Amino acid sequence: MAADFLWDRWLRQSFADAVPACVACAESSEEELLFRVQTCEHHYCGSCLTRYIETCIKDETLFPPTCCGRTMSLTTDNESHSSSLAENLTELFELEMIDSDLGARLRTKGLEFGIRPEDRVYCPYPRCSAFLGSWSSLKHSYDVFDSSSTPEPPPSHQCPSCFERLCVLCKDPAHSATALTCPVIEERLAEDQLRDLARENDWQSCPGCKAIVELTEGCNHMVCRCRSEFCYGCGLEWNTICVCRQ
């Protein structure tokens, strides 16, 4: 009984005195700095952590970096420095003389992946392709909320990386004053012409998909290809309130 107790205490002390090993490569060294995940106490060596973060930066489906299903919050055993990966990993890497550029790129990717894909803006020039932020925020900064009242050519934004300019409306390379070819403006003009034609011919638009429809025969009960039902007379959804049923 006493022997079992002493053996158990010896094992616990041995594990306590043991040098932690990297959970990825299983290597341990008293000389090499290990990063400890605060949520699960796993350790990563600098090289394995760097490779893992590089992979997460390149593959959005793996972002943010996690361990045991939770976003990493890191510290080191030799210092009280700690870092949430989305916040100040750059500072932690600088303090521990690891690749500080990796922390900065991770922070940038956190901002990029935090924006819906359709709202992201990238430099349209292939040699650059830098991430420029949110499209809605960019349009807001230029007071461009839609294309209905935008001057031609539309405002352009300068990429801070390559200094080229892009159109705020369509995200393509900026249009010159002599070549007004912004597809967003062209689409708006075509839509305006179609709406004018619809008004002239008393056509109606579907309240569901906004498609223009023409009634050639039959009653006012319309069933659009998007399956929306509406009254051709007033354009409202088909219900018992409509007073122009026929």
Do 70 and 39 meet the contact criterion of CB atoms below 8 Å apart? yes
In this structure, the chain runs to a length of 246
Tell me the C-alpha to C-alpha distance, in Å, between residue 209 and each of 198, 199, 202, 230, 238. Answer: 16, 18, 18, 12, 15
Q: Chain centroid to CA 28: how far?
A: 37
Average pLDDT value for residue range 209-217:
81
pLDDT at 8: 59
pLDDT at 178: 56
Do 109 and 102 meet the contact criterion of CB atoms below 8 Å apart? no
Helix H or strand E encompassing 211:
none
Residue 62 included in any domain: yes
Do 43 and 36 meet the contact criterion of CB atoms below 8 Å apart? yes
Q: What is the pLDDT of residues 101-158, one digit of tens each?
A: 777 788 888 889 989 998 999 999 989 999 999 988 888 887 765 555 555 567 889 9
pLDDT at 175: 79
Residue 3 included in any domain: no
Q: Where a domain ends, among 68, 84, 113?
A: 113
Average pLDDT value for residue range 1-5:
56
pLDDT at 193: 72
Do 97 and 103 meet the contact criterion of CB atoms below 8 Å apart? no
Average pLDDT value for residue range 40-55:
87
Considering the domain architecture, whether residues 175 and 121 belong to the same structural domain is answered as yes
**Total structural domains within the chain:** 3
Considering the domain architecture, whether residues 107 and 35 belong to the same structural domain is answered as yes
pLDDT at 100: 62
Residue 189 included in any domain: no
Q: Which CATH number fits the domain that encloses residue 77?
A: 3.30.40
| pTM of the shown model | 0.57
The domain in which residue 128 lies consists of: 117-183
Do 58 and 67 meet the contact criterion of CB atoms below 8 Å apart? no
Q: Is 37 helix (H, G, I), strand (E, B) or coil?
A: strand
